[in-house]
Every structure is written in structure tokens, then in C-alpha cells.
A and B are shown apart, each in its own frame.
Chain A
Amino acid sequence: MNTQTSAAAVAVAGVAAAVPGLALENVTCTFRAAAGKGGYTAVKDVNLTVGAGEFVSVVGPTGCGKSTLLNVSAGLLEPSSGTVKVFGEPLVGMNRHAGYMFQAESLMPWRTALDNVIVGLEFRGVARNEAVARGQDWLQRVGLGSHGHRYPHQMSGGMRKRAALAQTLIMDPKIILMDEPFSALDIQTRQLMENELLDIWSADRKSVLFITHDLEEAISLSDRVIVLSAGPGTHPIGEFAIDLPRPRDVSEVRLTPEFVRLHDEIWHTMKEEVLKGYVQSQQK
């Protein structure tokens, strides 16, 4: 692995934490082929850590295995080999510390926005009126304060994403996994949500593993950006510490020369892989 910045240096630069919140160790995922023998190795020998309280973004070409890595981290998918450690403990079954915001639609169509937001509290056995109060508060924070009564089909794609965000964050997870959460939003709303996310994150430093296609978004939010190679056999090919000062405003930070330099540097590594990924996705 030709990491630009070693993981050790990052740990020193970042929050002082001995045990990472999330660590993937030599994770390989091979999907069984639909017909008989063979299979597709989506990710191979991936080592990836998210320190406690660290914000890590993963960028990579489409179809390379980003969602697969998140599914492994959430405990939804068992890796073919390798281990996942959550605060130092090997993960068995579901990851109880993680909240996961999916790439695909994940709201229950038969529940209103409010009922969707509080469903996790319901599972936990929180009393209904307390759950509703907290749900209202979260709807407010994602800008859906007056839309709690709507069913998913009565909301726009962006509103559904915001409801899903509230649904994940209301559980107060220690590790937040996010799969392209804001790609459905317009640029203004998106920056609002990004700032909101940074606020929430800096209030009580959770470990965030954030997936995006958008390099600017990755840089402006993260402590560290990881670049993945194109599939098959995806693995990290670059790791960049983002030492822009915090607190950041996502729209302002983009104008700083330091940002532009980082962007150029990372894009240089990514460019080839993006082209490879595109060619491969056409061949498949």
C-alpha cells in the first residue's frame, strides 16, 4: 500500500485514541456467481481504520465495492475472509454501535416521516410520547419540521434522504456509516446538510465512515480521505490526511488554496482509476 500518510501519523494528528472505532483487517469479499462456479471478488485485502471520533471519507469509481465495505462494517455482510473490529472487539453478527444510512431508499412506505424517524427508538422500547418529542426535534434539525405527517411517496427524493438521516442519527450511534447520503440533494441544501452533519459530529465526535462520489465533499468534510482502486479486487490506493482547520464551513473551505492543492493531489491519484472503472463497467 503506497499510503501518502501513514496511519500512525494520522492517529497522532487526529484525536488521541489508541483503539480505532472501526477497523477492517484484510477484508476480502467474493460474491458467488449466479450460475455455478467462479465468483466475483469485489474487494480484496482491504485494511481500513476509522479512529474513534475520526471522520473518514472513501472515494472510488462506481461499482468498485464501496457499499460492500459499508455492509461489511455494519455486520450485514460477512466477509469471505478477514476480520472487522469495533472498538477493538471482533464483530460478530450485527454491529450494535453503528448507524447506517443506505444508498438506496430505506424508509418504510407505510409509515409517515415521523414514524419512520422514531422506529429505531420504538425497537429500543422508548415510550411513545418521548420518542415523538425527540422525533419532532430531529425532523426540525433536518428541515422537515412541518412534514412529519407525510408518507414517503408524498416527499421528494431529497426530503426522503433527510428523513433517513434523522432516522439514523436519532439513535445516537457511536459509528456512523453513510453511503452517498447527499447525492440526491441540490447544492445549497447539500451544503446546509453537510454543515449540519459537521455540527452534529463535532458536538460529540463520532466515528464517521462516509462514502461519496464527490471529491470536494470528501475533502471539505473529512479528517482523512481514502481512495479506492477500480474493481475487481478493489483495495485502497491512497490515503490523504486533510489538515484543514476546524470548524469548517463547507462552502468557504473550498476556496482556500490549501483545499485546491489537496484536491489536485487526490484527483491525480483517482483519475486513472475512475477511467478504468468506467471501462470495466461498460464491459460487464
Chain B
Amino acid sequence: MSRANKNRRGIADLPSAVLQIPIVCSLIGLWYGLTETDILPKFFFGEPFKVFGVLWHWFTSGEIFPHLGVTLVETVLAFVVGAVLGLVIGLWLALNPTASRLADPYIKAANAMPRVVLAPIFAVWFGLGIWSKVALGVTLVFFIVFFNVYQGIREVSPVLLANARVLGANARQLLRTVYLPSATSWVFSSLHTSVGMAFVGAVVGEYLGSARGVGYLILQAEGVFDINTVFAGMLVLTAFALVLDQAVGVVEKRLLVWRPTHGETEKL
């Protein structure tokens, strides 16, 4: 495409950052303009420079880091516990047609239930510490991983299984060398979604009642109608989610080297 109309350098040929930065700046400008002139009330929409002030204070004083740390720990724990449970139960049900037939309606029902309503129950069961947030994240992550693994195991190539059996694999070796790698590859293919869900679980959990974490900061600020801090918290969460997603991308690339990707040739 770009080669065909080389001499007609269009807007599409510019590096995307060149376009994206002005867009962000003008949006902030618009926000600033509308709130300064009181077209939008400052009380509800905040002021961009005060929001940046809050961010500046959080990061220079280091006040934000313990909260970020707590949110990160909750996210990681929710992901790990949810993924392991989803993997084990997904494998078990996929390899046990009877069990799977019995469990099917319950799993569908549990997945259909809006998980947020569980948050108050988890708060009662696990207290206001990190575990109630982890539990909420787990309920979100579990189903994504579970369904992926279940489907993945059902679709393992029969030739691959037959080949392993001819080569002398017993049931345990079959599980270890065929089913498990196949299942984990499905876990990793849903990595972005499930890590995102773990994060959502952590933040929503914090927001609904906690003593620490970024969600807690937002909750606190909202309580005293400090809209600028709420916005600052939202920005931190967004940036954090992006960083998390990048990290997942790196991990994914390392773990799935055996996956065919198209266009792997190197440019000269």
C-alpha cells in the first residue's frame, strides 16, 4: 500500500505517535477550556492541572507505591489461583465425560451470575484485607481459563494422542506430554483477558470496601467529593493496566515460541 503511492505522502504515513500526542493534548486542552470557563462545572469534572498535581504529589512523595503494590499483589494472586483452579478443573472435567455431564448446568449457572454481587459476601468471609479481592478476581479468572482449557482438551488432535500411545505413553505420561501442554497453551492464549479480569476483580473489590490499594484511594476521594483525586486514580489505573498488558505480551512471547505466527521472515 504505502509503496504504491510513495510520492503522495499522506497522513497515514506519519508515525502514529506524531498523531496521537496532539490528540491527547487537544483533549486535555478542551477539558481545561471547558472547566476554566465553567461551561462544565469544576465540581463534577475536575481541573486537569490539579489532577496532574495530585499525580505529581503521589509519585514524588512515594505515597502511591504501597497502594499500587497491594493492587498488583491482589491481581497476581487472583490470576495465579484462578488459572490453576481453571486448569485443573478444566482438565479434570474434559477428561471425565460423566463428571462433566453432571457439572455442566452448575458451571453454566455460576458463570451466568454477575460476580460483583459476591463481593459483599467475600468481604464478610475473608475480611477487608487482600483476600476478599483475590477471591473476587478468582471468580472472574476461573471461568475464562476453565472454558478455554475445557475446549482445548476436547480439541486435542486424535493423531497426536494415538501417536503418543503407540510410542508407549501410559495415562500419566499422556496427561503430562499431550494434555497438559495443550491445555496450558490455551491458558496462555487467553492470558490478556484473564490478567485483565484479575485486575478488574482487584480494583472493584477495593472500591467496594478496603483499607489499601488504588481502588481504595478512589473510594476515599469520592467520599470527600475530591473529584481531582478520583481522576488521578483513574489515570493511574489505566496506565497500570497498560503496563500489565505489555508485561503479559512479553511473557506470552517467551512461552509460546512454538506457536506458528504468520510473517516471521526477517526484513533485510
Contacts and interface: CB of A to CB of B under 8 A. Distances in A.
Contacts of B177: 108, 119, 122-123
A102 B258 contact: no
Contacts of A110: 181-182, 185, 258
Contacts of A112: 258
B3 interface: no
Interface residues of A, number: 28
Given A105-B159, A108-B181, A123-B173, A100 B257 contact: no
Given A106-B159, A153-B260, A120 B167 contact: yes
Given A98-B166, A108-B178, A153 B258 contact: yes
Given A94-B166, A123-B170, A106 B260 contact: no
A207 interface: no
A167 interface: yes
A99 B162 CA distance: 11
Contact of A76 (B166, B169, B173): B166
B265 to A, nearest CB: 12
B166 A119 contact: no
A167 B177 CA distance: 15
Nearest to B255: A110
A124 B168 contact: yes
A153 B185 CA distance: 15
Given A108-B181, A109-B258, A119 B162 contact: no
B164 interface: yes
A167 B163 CA distance: 10
A248 interface: no
Given A106-B160, A110-B181, A123 B167 contact: yes
Contacts of B181: 108, 110
Nearest to A103: B159
Contacts of A98: 166
Interface in B147-173: 157, 159-160, 162-170, 173
A151 interface: yes
B254 interface: no
B101 interface: no
B9 interface: no
User: In the complex, which of the residues B178, B258, B259 has the most CB atoms of chain A within 10 Å of its own CB atom?
Assistant: B258
A171 interface: yes
Interface string A12-50: 000000000000000000000000000000000000000
Nearest to A111: B258
Contacts of B168: 96, 120, 123-124, 171
A102 B185 contact: no
Given A108-B177, A108-B181, A123-B173, A102 B163 contact: yes
A270 interface: no
A94 B170 CA distance: 11
Contacts of B164: 108, 119, 123
Contacts of B166: 74, 76, 94-95, 98-100
Nearest to A120: B167
Contacts of A153: 258-260
Contacts of A94: 165-166
A227 to B, nearest CB: 26
A8 interface: no
A109 B157 CA distance: 11
A117 to B, nearest CB: 11
A116 B97 CA distance: 29
Contacts of A104: 159
Contacts of A105: 157, 159
A148 to B, nearest CB: 14
Contacts of A151: 257-258
Contacts of B165: 76, 94
A76 B165 CA distance: 9
Can you list the 9 inter-chain pairs with the closest CB atoms, starting with the nearest?
A120-B167, A153-B260, A106-B163, A151-B258, A123-B168, A100-B166, A110-B181, A104-B159, A110-B258
Interface of B: 157, 159-160, 162-170, 173, 177-178, 181-182, 185, 257-260
30 contacts: A71-B162, A74-B166, A76-B165, A76-B166, A98-B166, A100-B162, A100-B163, A105-B157, A105-B159, A106-B159, A106-B160, A106-B163, A108-B160, A108-B164, A108-B177, A108-B178, A108-B181, A109-B260, A111-B258, A119-B164, A120-B167, A123-B168, A123-B169, A124-B168, A151-B257, A153-B258, A153-B259, A167-B167, A171-B167, A171-B168
Given A100-B162, A110-B182, A119-B164, 14 more contacts: A74-B162, A76-B165, A94-B166, A99-B166, A100-B163, A100-B166, A102-B163, A105-B157, A105-B159, A108-B178, A119-B177, A120-B168, A123-B173, A153-B260
